[in-house]
Amino acid sequence: MNQYTALVGVGIGVVALMAVIFGLDILKLSVSTQDHDIFVDPIIDKQNLFVTGRITIQNTGSQPLTNIRVNFGAGDTLDLGTLKTGQKIIISPPPDNPMEFVMIEADDGIFVNKAYRELPKMVGMMGS
> In the chain, which residues have pLDDT < 70?
1, 25-33, 124-128
Which of 89, 86, 79 lies closest to 63, judged by CA?
Answer: 86
Q: Give residue-wise pLDDT tens across range 61-77.
A: 989 999 999 999 999 99
How confident is the model at residue 127, as a pLDDT?
Answer: 58
What pTM did the predictor assign? 0.72
Phi, psi of 126 (to 5 degrees): -60, 130
Q: Does residue 22 sit in helix, strand or coil?
A: helix
Q: Does residue 13 sit in helix, strand or coil?
A: helix
Q: What number of other Cβ atoms are within 10 A of residue 57's Cβ?
A: 23
Classify residue 10 by its DSSP letter.
H
